[in-house]
Structure 1
Amino acid sequence: MNFSAYSACDYNKSNEDGLSEPCSFSDNNSVNAVVGPYIHSIICILGLVGNSLVILTYALYKRTKSMTDVYLLNVAIADLLFVLALPFIVYNELYSWPMGQVACKLLRGSYSVNLYSGMLMLACISTDRYIAIVQARRSFRLRSLSNSRIICALIWIFALLVSVPTFHFYHWYQPSHNAVIWISNITEQEETTDPQYVCEWKFDDSNTASIVKVAVPSTQLAIGFFLPLLIMIFCYTAVIVTLQKSQSYKRHKAVRVVMVVVLVFIVCHLPYNLILMHDTIHLFDYSDCEKMDSLLTAMSVLQTVAYLHCCLNPVLYAFIGVNFRNHFRRIFRDLWCLGKRYIAPQPESFLHGGL
């Protein structure tokens, strides 16, 4: 017997014959119909453009000269991979999954890897700012490019190891609840439809299902949110205290930037992670269809808010810097000049063979 990623509250509605049937989740389906195709498309476009510009800037114009540069580049890579996978994740949630087992595992596994790596890179950026400003005397010894590259490699490896359960337990299969059997006193009729395959959790026994369904979101909460949040709060609080002692206008401007970075992180991720924690704690509690529908709707909306952070990272961590904005303008200037070179008409002497 296989155990998929559905709780007991998915089947708590009875028909006239006393048989259980799945909850309809009409509110959540209505929200997903809007959020999936439209809002997520906007997130994908903005995230693709912003993070591609960051990567292009580092590749062509701005060399990675500091630890922060290395971390910013890796954050952009993680966010870019995330927005590239997001359309497939949305499609999988709305429709049948047509791409097979390998694509299913790669999609869900890469999503998990990018989640952990991106969040931990943000924690590294705050740590680097702490060392550079609060521990300025030690910064030259600690903040080297070689150290940053080693740290980034370790973070990617760690994110991959933490995501092993996701790679292992996500499967492409046809869920048994798609075949609904209605039994009457006279006849027995089975409603048959075309096979509908999903890319979801699948377990061989209930004990494994119970452990994984609690362990994976708990790990995501601990490592993918609360650990980076605590590091950011500690480091940026110390940074703000240090900068407040300075009377420089640039230092006070830097304080406002730090506060915006922390505030945006909390606003984007805290609501979703709190409701995820609530869902994990009450995962195996009985709940009626209406309450579960409201919970899933809230999770869909708040998850979308969390996804927005991948669009805001380029603005908060890259474009807000003066040097980076200059490189950004240079990209558009070069693209404009390149476009004019191909669009502008050729000189008359060239067209007439130089005559």
Structure 2
Amino acid sequence: MDNVTFDDYATWTVNDSDELCSFSPSPEEVLSHTYIHSIICAFGLIGNVLVMITYGFYKRTKTMTDVYLFNVAVADLLFVVALPLIAHNEQNGWPMGSAACKMLRSAYSINLYSGMLLLACISGDRYVAIVQARRSFGSRSRTVLYGRLICAAVWVSALFLTLPTLIYTELFEEHDPMLFEEHDLMEPNSTLTCELTFKSRKTAKLMKVMVPSLQMAVGFFLPLVVMVFCYSSIMCTLLKAHNSQRHKAIRVVWAVVVVFIICHFPYNVTLLIHTVSLFTERSCEEEKTKLKVLATSRSIAYLHCCLNPILYAFIGVKFRSRFRKILSDLWCFGKRYLYSARLSRGTSEVCISGLRTSEASNNASSFSA
């Protein structure tokens, strides 16, 4: 029985179909996506590593939100590390083999589910801390232990939801029909592609609906509903509060929601339209156009990996004070090696006093912690 395959966009073809259409991107599209992904990798790597260092090693008094932010940075970092490997293999016929094909294709799925669910957890924790402040005061439910347990549950759920991608993704030898003539004795030109591959049409029809549906439902609509509810309640609470910082906090809320929608809404809407159209007959050009729009909108969704550290970490007063402490420590260590032992002792005293000053400033807080 002929294998049935479909790519990340849930398109599928049978290799004995009457009409063969090549969906390979043009060299210009490949080059533009390479530049965009390189920028995402660079900024995502720097931002998420700084967040992990700050929350993992320098921030002693952790909260549930801190635990969530650390895990979001881990999820984003795993993806930005995998992204250049994915691009390299796609352009060179997957020289890293079948295992890399499975793992790298699963990286986006794991990042999607874990990252989006953790962002929903952050909005829920902020809702409890601000809207339900009186009830949550002194509550043991908002401890680091509970945060770690929730994060563990999120990672397990993300791995479970990624199983279809991990199981069915295989290296597939794709023949180029344009280079093969009917009476030519030579073998047709072929390339290796990493796609979801099935042995039967029944399984393909099920998965081509289930995989994108799970991505849209769990990876976008569920977190969006939770975030809209929680942040709407937070904004109402902040508007009633007589606080000089409330306007800045409200702007942060708007930024978090708007950036989330701008990054993920186009891709999910396009994916929904494409999934529905799979049950209708499409022309070759129409399918190519949809795939181009999907590729572009998916690159926009990737940008969220770079923006998460800014929206959820660097914008917070506490995080900035801890980050300044890191820079102060690095400066002090550098001074010790550059100057004499006598000057080094003086520098150490300056560093200690700077750390104490930083500790005292941590009493200030903001919406984004």
TM-score range, shorter chain: 0.7 to 0.9
**Residues 47-105 of structure 1 deviation map (CA, whole Å, 9 limit, x = unaligned):** 00000000001122113521101101110110111101111222333331111121211
The change in CA–CA distance for 1:244 and 1:24 in structure 2 (over 3 A counts) is: closer
Aligned to 2:298: 303
Q: Would you say the 8 A contact 1:11–1:23 is kept in 2?
A: no
- Tell me which of 266, 269, 275 is aligned to 1:280: 275
Q: What are the residue-to-residue correspondences of 1:35-184 with 2, within 5 Å?
A: 35=33, 37-63=34-60, 65-139=62-136, 140-141=138-139, 142-176=141-175, 180-183=179-182
C-alpha distance in 2 between matches for 1:283 and 1:224: 21
Higher relative contact order (CA 8 A, sep 6+): 1
C-alpha distance in 2 between matches for 1:179 and 1:214: 30
**Residues 267-293 of structure 1 deviation map (CA, whole Å, 9 limit, x = unaligned):** 111011100111111124222222222
Q: Would you say the 8 A contact 1:9–1:286 is kept in 2?
A: no
**Residues 194-216 of structure 1 deviation map (CA, whole Å, 9 limit, x = unaligned):** x5222111100111011111100
C-alpha distance in 1 between matches for 2:14 and 2:254: 42
Greater alpha carbon shift after TM alignment, 106-115 vs 239-248:
106-115
* Helix, strand or coil at the partner of 2:278: coil
The change in CA–CA distance for 1:9 and 1:197 in structure 2 (over 3 A counts) is: closer
Q: Would you say the 8 A contact 1:10–1:22 is kept in 2?
A: no
Greater alpha carbon shift after TM alignment, 295-304 vs 218-227:
295-304
C-alpha distance in 1 between matches for 2:273 and 2:16: 20
The change in CA–CA distance for 1:233 and 1:24 in structure 2 (over 3 A counts) is: closer
Q: Would you say the 8 A contact 2:4–2:14 is kept in 1?
A: no
- Tell me which of 188, 197, 205 is aligned to 2:200: 205
Aligned to 2:32: 34
- Quote the sequence identity (%): 49
C-alpha distance in 2 between matches for 1:56 and 1:300: 32
Whichever residue aligns with residue 210 of structure 1, its letter is K
Q: Determine if the alignment matches structure 1 residue 261 to structure 2 residue 256.
A: yes
**Residues 122-177 of structure 1 deviation map (CA, whole Å, 9 limit, x = unaligned):** 00000001001111122132312221111111111111111111110001232355
Greater alpha carbon shift after TM alignment, 46-55 vs 240-249:
240-249
Q: 5+ residue gaps in structure 2?
A: 342-369
The change in CA–CA distance for 1:341 and 1:301 in structure 2 (over 3 A counts) is: farther
Q: 5+ residue gaps in structure 1?
A: 14-18, 348-355
1:20: how far off?
Answer: 3.7
Aligned to 1:335: 330
Whichever residue aligns with residue 95 of structure 1, its letter is N
Aligned to 1:235: 230
Aligned to 2:318: 323
C-alpha distance in 2 between matches for 1:292 and 1:46: 33
Aligned to 2:184: 188
C-alpha distance in 1 between matches for 2:142 and 2:155: 19
C-alpha distance in 2 between matches for 1:9 and 1:169: 16
**Residues 309-342 of structure 1 deviation map (CA, whole Å, 9 limit, x = unaligned):** 1100000000001121122223233334444555
C-alpha distance in 2 between matches for 1:64 and 1:282: 51
Whichever residue aligns with residue 157 of structure 1, its letter is V
**Residues 231-290 of structure 1 deviation map (CA, whole Å, 9 limit, x = unaligned):** 000000000001100121112221111111101101111011100111111124222222
The change in CA–CA distance for 1:345 and 1:242 in structure 2 (over 3 A counts) is: closer
Q: Would you say the 8 A contact 2:5–2:14 is kept in 1?
A: no
CA RMSD of aligned residues (A): 2.5
* Helix, strand or coil at the partner of 1:172: strand
The change in CA–CA distance for 1:297 and 1:41 in structure 2 (over 3 A counts) is: same
TM-score after normalising by structure 2: 0.84
The change in CA–CA distance for 1:190 and 1:10 in structure 2 (over 3 A counts) is: same
C-alpha distance in 2 between matches for 1:258 and 1:230: 15
TM-score after normalising by structure 1: 0.87
Aligned to 1:224: 219
